[in-house]
Structure formats: C-alpha cells, structure tokens
C-alpha cells in the first residue's frame, strides 16, 4: 500500500517563485556546477582538491533542492487561501498565546511565506496538528518535542494574504 504525499497549499506567487527557482536550478545552476567540477578535476589529484570537494557538495545541495521543489510543486494546490471562517486551517494566519506569550504565525508550508518575516508552522508540527480546526477563543495543549505540555489559545484567525 503506497502512501500519498500530503497536498501543499501554495499561493500563485509562491508557486511561480518556486517554479522559477526550479527552472534556474535545473538549467543554468546545473550547468554552472558541472563546469566547476570539470575545472576542479583538471587541477589533478581529487583526494586533496578542496575546490572539487566544495563543488561536489554544492552539486549535492542543488540536486536535493531540485528533488524537494519537484515534489512540492507536484503536490501543490495553488490558489488563494481559504477565506477565514474563524477556525484554523491551512493558509491561516493565527494569533495565539503559546505558553503565555502572544505569537502570530502562518499555518502551512514555509515556502508559502517566501521572504516574509512571518513565522511558519507546518500543519504536521506538534503545534500545527494541535490547533487545526480550533476556533477563535478555543484552547488546547500539545506535547512539545521535549515532552513538555504547552497550552495554546487561539486569539484571531485570518486568511493569508501573501504579504
């Protein structure tokens, strides 16, 4: 039985930005790193060739990012964030008190926020799983990775506008 990858909600801007990054990495960036590796190979002994090893490491990072973007874009649901109905869902900007401190964050994939200063919590994270579906005014607790029980209360929920 195969497990389906989770669907990721993305704004059109995020989808376009990530598609452009994938195109850049798959084309010009791959060619550039291949040239760097070839130039480093021509310098001789590969065991002690720092340039070669650095280029190979960079190539590995590029290939990993290509795989990550390909999977993300393949499973993406593109569109506007669902309108806020007062409960937490994917694409919600949530203001909550977490262990007594107020925080505002986006529930979804970190790729959605791009260069935004907004913190992002995955719907798969302990906090994300705990608050999905909660309405404004509701509280719950969740177990942090260290095992500590943390109380969270939802103060406000709005749809992510992309900024």
Q: pLDDT tens across 135-148, in order?
A: 999 999 999 888 89
pLDDT band at 126 (very low <50, low <70, confident <90, very high): very high
Q: How far apart are CA 76 and CA 124, in angstroms?
A: 16
Q: How far apart are CA 150 and CA 22, in angstroms?
A: 38
Closest CA to 130 of 156, 154, 104: 154
The domain locations on the chain are 8-78, 92-159
Domains 8-78 and 92-159 share a fold: no
Can you read off the two tokens belonging to residue 152?
């969270």
Cβ atoms 121, 105 nearer than 8 A? yes
Kindly report the pTM of this predicted structure: 0.67
Is residue 2 pLDDT above 60, yes or no?
no
* 8-78 maps to CATH 3.30.70.980: no
pLDDT score, position 84: 63
* 92-159 maps to CATH 4.10.220.20: no
């Amino acid at each position: 039985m195969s497990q389906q990858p989770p669907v990721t909600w993305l704004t059109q801007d995020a989808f376009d930005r990530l598609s452009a990054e994938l195109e850049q990495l798959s084309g010009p960036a791959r060619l550039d790193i291949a040239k760097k590796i070839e130039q480093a190979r021509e310098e001789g002994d590969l065991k002690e060739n720092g340039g070669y090893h650095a280029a190979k490491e960079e190539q590995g990072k590029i290939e990993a990012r290509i795989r990550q973007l390909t999977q993300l874009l393949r499973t993406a649901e593109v569109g506007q964030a669902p309108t806020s109905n007062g409960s937490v869902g994917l694409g919600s900007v949530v203001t909550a008190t977490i262990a007594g401190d107020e925080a505002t964050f986006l529930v979804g994939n970190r790729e959605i926020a791009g260069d935004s200063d907004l913190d992002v919590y995955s719907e798969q994270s302990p906090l994300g799983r705990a608050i999905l579906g909660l309405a404004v005014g509701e509280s719950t607790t969740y177990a942090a990775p260290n095992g500590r029980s943390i109380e969270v209360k939802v103060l406000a929920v709005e749809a992510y506008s992309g900024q």
